[in-house]
Copies of this chain bind each other. A is one copy, B any other.
């Protein structure tokens, strides 16, 4: 018993020590020489805003494509954490621009990122610098999104094990000065497991762990038959998607690879949690009703909300 307790306290102390010392890493010696760092696409900056005062307490960041969804997430998380004020409007912190929207309540930040790798990449560069300038530590980040499933019942939530490219390889190609550099797309396996546990506790919808294919477009890049251009057959499409399935791909979206790569480089614990809107083996068009799709897209919010509440409650109790 003494031994178990000792192990417990050593573990807690180690966690506390580690978490206290897990800063946000930027890898850019040039930043130190900047008097003012203008985070242009957020309409924020180090000279114009007191970033440590505004963001220093952030411990959880949720990002997603749609600005509306990220506003609804902050309202949802406020109610989950019992921090809602029925009279309060949650102001958009990036109101000076329409590139991204950003909301905050307590230790939770919610940011939209638009669609596709380039759009989320700009947002992540500026978010990582923001968290660094704000001297945040021990931050966990989630991408909550929508996706096409492969062989899954629509509405299934997929927690990404590895993000893979269009050839099912776990890598992200970053072009720097015209040369291609390969980056790792591993996500935090412990965090993924904790999210699966949360789903079991909630018991409201199916959640699976699987690989997520990240593509450069929604139509030809995902073997859809309903774009403006299509040079392949239904059989070609089925063969490609079945090969993806054999490689462990459960769903397809458009941001996970650069999200995984950049979060890993900056020391952020990261997870990708996407609901599937349809089974791509059975079709391409999103014909489900608005109500059904709306219900589906709340599922990643519910799962991540449960995780955040659990962690904050645990911290308060301990």
**Within the assembled complex, what's the spacing in Å between the Cα atoms of A270 and B258?**
31
Task: Tell me, yes or no, whether A274 is within 8 Å of chain B by CB.
Answer: no
Comparing A14-22, A150-158, A171-179, A184-192, the segment that makes contact with chain B is: A171-179
- Contact assessment for A124 and B228 in the assembled complex, using a CB-CB cutoff below 8 Å: yes
Contact residues in B for A128 (Cβ distance below 8 Å) = 228
Comparing A28-36, A53-61, A297-305, the segment that makes contact with chain B is: A28-36
**Within the assembled complex, what's the spacing in Å between the Cα atoms of A174 and B221?**
8
**Within the assembled complex, what's the spacing in Å between the Cα atoms of A174 and B34?**
38
**Within the assembled complex, what's the spacing in Å between the Cα atoms of A228 and B25?**
8
Contact flags A81-113 to B (C-beta < 8 A → 1, else 0): 000000000000000001100000000000000
Total interface residues in chain A, CB < 8 Å: 67
| Given contacts A31-B226, A266-B228, A218 and B125 within 8 Å (CB-CB) | yes
Task: Tell me, yes or no, whether A217 is within 8 Å of chain B by CB.
Answer: yes
- Contact assessment for B175 and A225 in the assembled complex, using a CB-CB cutoff below 8 Å: no
**Within the assembled complex, what's the spacing in Å between the Cα atoms of A156 and B166?**
39
Shortest distance between the CB of A171 and any CB in chain B (Å):
14
Contact residues in B for A51 (Cβ distance below 8 Å) = none
- Contact assessment for B231 and A286 in the assembled complex, using a CB-CB cutoff below 8 Å: no
- Nearest residue (CB) in B for A265 is B229
- Contact assessment for A221 and B175 in the assembled complex, using a CB-CB cutoff below 8 Å: yes
Shortest distance between the CB of A292 and any CB in chain B (Å):
14
Task: Tell me, yes or no, whether A116 is within 8 Å of chain B by CB.
Answer: yes
> A-side interface residues toward B, CB under 8 Å?
26-31, 34, 36-38, 40-41, 65-68, 98-99, 114-119, 121-122, 124-126, 128-129, 132, 166-168, 174-178, 215-221, 223, 225-232, 234, 236-237, 240, 254, 262, 265-266, 285-287
11 A-B pairs, CB-CB below 8 angstroms? A34-B226, A37-B226, A66-B99, A68-B98, A99-B115, A116-B118, A118-B254, A121-B219, A125-B219, A176-B231, A229-B265
The 9 closest A-B pairs by CB, nearest first: A116-B118, A128-B228, A28-B230, A30-B225, A121-B217, A40-B286, A125-B227, A115-B119, A177-B240
Given contacts A115-B119, A116-B117, 8 further A-B contacts (CB under 8 A): A27-B231, A38-B286, A66-B99, A116-B119, A119-B119, A122-B217, A125-B227, A125-B228
